[in-house]
Chains A and B, each alone.
Chain A
Amino acid sequence: KAGVTQTPRYLIKTRGQQVTLSCSPISGHRSVSWYQQTPGQGLQFLFEYFSETQRNKGNFPGRFSGRQFSNSRSEMNVSTLELGDSALYLCASSADGAYGYTFGSGTRLTVV
């Protein structure tokens, strides 16, 4: 079956702009979570959605937001981009958010 699909793979944005990243989970998975990966901070949890409801949120500023659609696809948005937002953004899907997390290949965001 198809894996987790993240688009786009690469993005270059300017400080102050906003960006939207997309994630399509594995078919049948209803939980989608997002993680930020940087060399300095490692992998950090952003938020998790299940059936269009956010169930948990990490310690990130309000500039980071997300949503989930009725087909389980998810988007995350970062507004007013800062240089420090440059990172690999990873999406993971799970049937229930408890077990069996599968990651996508990520979106590499570079803020200049």
Chain B
Amino acid sequence: GESVGLHLPTLSVQEGDNSIINCAYSNSASDYFIWYKQESGKGPQFIIDIRSNMDKRQGQRVTVLLNKTVKHLSLQIAATQPGDSAVYFCAENEISDYKLSFGAGTTVTVRA
């Protein structure tokens, strides 16, 4: 079936370094992609999104890259901080389906 998955379940990063979290998706009809951050006991928090007609989008300290040729999505976090420690999920949406399909998540731990 169609699914979205992350390459690595865990990522350990030194404070101040850049982080890269990867995600592969298989639904070529996906129109819209989102990265969420989830801290313990909380719901997913929106980080950044990108539509299928774009290949890069930047936010504050974050950049999302979309490669439709290989169906790959990545989230780059610049100058990682302790507050960035969380589980990160990618999600995709074929907008006519009105639902998000999530990957399994990557747990990011920031080392001081």
Report which A residues bind B (CB closer than 8 A): 4, 6, 31, 33, 35, 42-45, 48, 50, 55-56, 58, 90, 92, 97-106
Contact = CB atoms under 8 A, between A and B. Distances in A.
Contact of B46 (A102, A104, A105): A102
Given A56-B97, A56-B98, A98-B95, A103 B36 contact: yes
B57 to A, nearest CB: 13
B46 A101 contact: yes
Contacts of B20: none
Given A42-B105, A99-B32, A48 B99 contact: yes
Contacts of B32: 98-99
A57 to B, nearest CB: 9
B88 interface: no
A42 B98 contact: no
B98 A31 contact: yes
B12 interface: no
B24 to A, nearest CB: 15
B54 to A, nearest CB: 13
Contacts of A98: 31-32, 93, 95, 98
B23 interface: no
A85 B74 CA distance: 32
B99 A42 contact: no
B45 interface: yes
A88 B106 CA distance: 18
Interface pairs A-B: 10 shortest CB-CB: A98-B95, A103-B43, A43-B102, A97-B98, A45-B99, A48-B98, A105-B43, A103-B44, A56-B98, A106-B43
Contact of B98 (A55, A90, A105): A55
B99 A58 contact: yes
B95 A101 contact: no
